[in-house]
Structure 1
């Protein structure tokens, strides 16, 4: 597995404001890295640094082993990028725009482009000024997926798309991954990230507060337990690590951290288990828990 993108100790200041604070990120070949955080956390600043638009205050960003800022023009030949807000030439048609975007990146309209137009159900004969936000996103996505790049950067790519087109986006993203491409996906749709990402980085106030696989993050956070037992479970409140405890007759539900999960299960077993259901936290629950642990009461 080859490291395609490496960010080391990246800090970016705007006067006295520190938008990025000593962040470290790697993106490997054939990998989808989910990059999540609320508005203002530093995601867009990170992406602009990767694209060579912003020069780091300190630290470095390397793509294909080259400095992302000083070698931006050369690096961009192997990068496809889709922002969350797409602005297009108003008097060009969607089809003309797709072909122009491809030509600007030394690419050609192929049968894959036609398949993408059909999949996303885009009327390419209409002018861009008549398109909704979702259709403008489709134009950018079709151009990006038609591009033979090494790294694909998606920043809120499905903004404005309906659920059907979100599924089409995920289908083509998975095809890129299968072909060995590297993908950085920044999205507020956490279920989307959860489904496709190999690893996830969570950023808060310019700092990476956690990076890992979903499974690793699930282990570090609470598990939901729902059980029905033969004897009264009231003493479970004395087990450490249990939160959100609800007891109704011989039915009990609670959340428990990984360190105390076995103690809780053993206690329930001693009461005579009738039924037991264990639910791992979703990425959304993990995200909210990490922000709560980090002292952010607004998320």
Structure 2
């Protein structure tokens, strides 16, 4: 089956600054895929290339087997896109704007507008210029979901939403996945992605540093282990054991060992039983901790990229159309 999204060797330069360093991704049709990284990691740049708002410096991008630049309106009609930064026409109400988008789509989405607005507590009669950030985000979500697209590309979709509406969004994402749509969910909040995604890619400084299913990532997150012994123990017996990282002894008395355990616990247990253990405590780490591990490690510096072509929007792309949301 043709992947919903295929990205190979994607490089994007802004002048002499390289934002993406050879990104590779493949998102299967029908899966909910998480794309994680902090602000400035390259998430939004990747999405803008996917949506043909930017052209790549090098590499290739395909959506449903077609390059975005070649897909035209037919390809865009199959996508629901929520950008990270929303722009709306000031003189329309929320309802008028959504009706306008439905008309551009040949009437697709008109039927679901009211239902989605009710679920997200959006007042369609209010002028767009008077909406708060959270209410503008609701408009963006309605326009992305209302025509039941085959692919949803969502950039920081819960930004500005309160916790109850964040939960409603996650339900919408699950429902889209259940009907067979592909959901590409970009976020810096791992917890919300973990709840709905089957696989997750972690991007750092324009490079994908990990890609796996959520359960495998959770297993790699490991356990935080605390061992207390009746007598002081030598750190060297534990520091180099397979699967043991960051082993340390409490300097006050040398009887309490803490470490991060990833993988088989037997080497640590075998070493521990050579001494009298008075306490053993093991706690599963959150997936959030694994995510943060990638950002604590030093990253090798890279030479500045050569000058690149202008980043003006491609002719006829969504960036040049009224409203900026397609």
TM-score, normalised relative to structure 1: 0.87
2:78 corresponds to? 78
Measured in 1, the distance between the counterparts of 2:25 and 2:166 equals: 26
Q: Equivalent residue for 1:49?
A: 49
Instruction: State how 1:5-16 maps to structure 2 within 5 Å.
Output: 5-16=5-16
Distance in 1 (CA, whole Å) between partners of 2:211 and 2:281 is 31
Alpha-carbon spacing, 1:72–1:246, altered in 2? closer, same or farther (3 Å): farther
SS for the counterpart of 2:183 is strand
Structure 2 residue aligned with 1:280, among 274, 282, 285? 285
Q: What is residue 237 of structure 2 aligned with on the other side? A: 238
Q: 1:104–1:259: structure 2 CA closer, same or farther, 3 Å change rule?
A: same
Determine which of 284, 290, 296 is the counterpart of 2:294.
290
**Take 2:234 and 2:147, find their aligned partners in 1: how far apart are those partners?**
61
Question: 1:193-249 CA deviation, whole Å, 9 max, x = no partner?
Answer: 12222111111221111111233333444421246x684574566313342646599
CA RMSD in angstroms, aligned pairs only:
2.7
User: How many pairs were matched up?
Assistant: 294
Distance 1:252 1:180, change over 3 A: farther
Matches within 5 A, 1:197-216: 197-216=197-216
Check 1:246–1:162 CA distance in 2 against 1; reply closer, same or farther (3 A cut): farther
SS class of match (1:23): strand
Question: Distance between the aligned counterparts of 1:222 and 1:238, measured in 2?
Answer: 20
Query: Per the alignment, do residues 36 and 108 of structure 1 end up closer, same or farther by CA in structure 2, a change over 3 Å counting?
Result: closer
Q: 1:290 to 1:104 in 2, by over 3 A?
A: same
Equivalent in the alignment of 1:132: 132
Gaps of 5+ in 1: none
Give the structure 1 partner of residue 109 of structure 2: 108
Give the structure 1 partner of residue 29 of structure 2: 29
Change (3 A) 1:108 1:289: closer
Structure 2 length-normalised TM: 0.80
Q: Does the 8 A contact of 1:52 with 1:72 survive in 2?
A: no
Q: 1:52 to 1:72 in 2, by over 3 A?
A: farther
In 2, the alpha carbon distance for the partners of 1:74 and 1:140 equals 21
Per the alignment, residue 315 of structure 2 pairs with none
Show the 5 A alignment for 1:256-271. 256-259=260-263, 261-268=265-272, 271=276
Q: What runs of 5+ residues in structure 2 fail to find an aligned partner?
A: 301-326
**Are 1:231 and 1:250, in contact at CA under 8 Å, matched by a contact in 2?**
no
CA deviation digits over 1:256-298, x for unaligned, max 9?
A: 242563322444566467664331332x2112111223438xx
Q: CA deviation at 1:253?
A: 6.6
Task: Tell me how far apart the structure 2 counterparts of residues 116 and 249 of structure 1 sit (CA, whole Å).
Answer: 61
